[in-house]
Amino acid sequence: MTHSARRPLIAGNWKMHNSLAESVALARAVADVRIGPRTDVVVAPVFTALSAVAQALVGTPVGLAGQDLHWEPKGAFTGAISAPMLKDVGCSHVIIGHSERRQYFGETDESVRNKTLAALRSGLTPIVCVGETLAEREGGITFEVIGRQLDAVLNACESSEIAAMVIAYEPVWAIGTGRTAKSSDAQLAHAFLRDRARHKHAEAADRTRVLYGGSVKADNAAELLAQPDIDGALVGGASLDAETFGRIIRAAG
């Protein structure tokens, strides 16, 4: 499958921002953006706003994502939220293993694997994040790190599950810093990840969408999205402004 045959996905990760009213207003503004017929768009508000945002997005082409989940469907896990709960509130996607979860909350390759399997088997599309730190990049071990992170998931999945998931490459050194990987460097990482998946399940890997997530902005989105193995973007800060996010969406086609 060629790059042009994979539907671009633009995902907005709102992180720990926005009140209930602000989340609804932003969701409505994003829904008003002209979205191309071949582009998928999802937004990931805070958990407390999921239900209200789901209602605001009814009848629009914009989907809803959770920012995290627990791998168990229910139980004594105070503060956690499960895949069935995300489905129940209207989510179609969930972000898993974001670098901030790995860095600040002790997320491991094992927990990312378990969460990915829980999402897939509950009918959610996981957006599985992998990426290297600045020290790892400068140490020349980028591919070793992201290969290990991806393998933890791939080794536990069937071919159909790999085709159903989304992979997001997010160089940790570029998140929230304003620094962005050169489009050629980002393409190299994306091609490596797809090739890694292809060794496990060749046909599925060609259908798997790989997103770029490292300080994506309106002025660099088109160049990044033109790369043959970059199938969309996981957008952080720039997704908090509907006009800016809309320009990124339009850059996808």
> Which of 148, 212, 147, 180 is CA-nearest to residue 3?
212
Question: Tokens 């994040």 map to which residue?
Answer: 129
Q: Which residues are catalytic?
A: 98, 170
Query: CA of 57: how far to CAs of 5, 8, 192, in Å?
Result: 27, 20, 35
Does an H or E element contain 178, and which? none
Cβ neighbours for 108, distance < 8 A, ≥ 6 positions apart:
102
> Which of 170, 187, 188 is CA-nearest to residue 179?
170
Q: Do residues 20 and 52 touch, judged by C-beta distance below 8 A?
A: yes
Q: How many CB atoms lie within 10 A of CB 216?
A: 28
The Cα 29–Cα 240 span in angstroms is 10
CA 12, 13, 18, 23 torsion-angle sign: positive
**Cα 19 vs. chain centroid, distance in angstroms?**
22
> Which of 188, 1, 246 is CA-nearest to residue 233?
246
**Cα-Cα end-to-end distance for the chain:** 18
For residue 130, report the phi and psi dihedrals to the nearest 5 degrees. -135, 155
